[in-house]
A = this chain, B = another copy of it.
Amino acid sequence: MNFLEERILKDGIVKEGNVLKVDSFLNHQMDIELLDRIGEEFYNRFKDKNITKVLTIEASGIAIACFVAKYFNVPLVFAKKSKSVNIDGDMYVAEIESFTHNCKNQVIVSQKFLNNDDHLLIIDDFLANGCALQGLISISENAGATIEGIGIVIEKGFQIGGKVIRNLGYHLESLAIVESMDASTSTVIFRDQGGNG
């Protein structure tokens, strides 16, 4: 079990409906030492790639991506989320449709900040169905950038997002993959990633 899985067991809270609350250390209140260690871990996993930029999406992805970008010593770009509106200026826009809610959102990045010279590491805190991540991939491909890898802090392995992204051939690393949760017993089972987890 790695440092993140240990922390999830210690401070995560399992709620009915497969909800894992990590808001005391990851996505509302944030433990900066943990974020720094996550940044270092992603650096170790992707340091052989020639990363030129880290790409994430607002809001809670930003804090994690900051520390990843610090270890790689490259700029961070964060995509903005918006209800579908007309965008002025030169923007990459991905329209994403939620699997669980009957709504569409846009993921937006200024064209100034992504181009075909970029080798991207995409970072986010959670991967479930992967709608937001699909939007980030769409934007990166539109920009002609190379996606060198995708780093996720917590993947819900029982939802489809991770499978979709791996099927598409992307190098996806999730620091913790939750196989199952049980709110009644407060248990979380992680996927065994063979020492790399």
Contacts and interface: CB of A to CB of B under 8 A. Distances in A.
A36 interface: yes
B32 A73 contact: yes
Copies of this protein, total = 2
Contact of A62 (B29, B62, B70, B112): B62
Interface in A78-137: 78, 80, 109-110, 112-113
B69 A32 contact: yes
A66 B36 CA distance: 10
A181 interface: no
A57 to B, nearest CB: 9
Given A30-B78, A58-B58, 15 more contacts: A23-B112, A24-B113, A28-B78, A28-B80, A29-B110, A29-B113, A30-B76, A32-B66, A32-B76, A59-B59, A60-B62, A62-B63, A62-B66, A66-B66, A66-B67
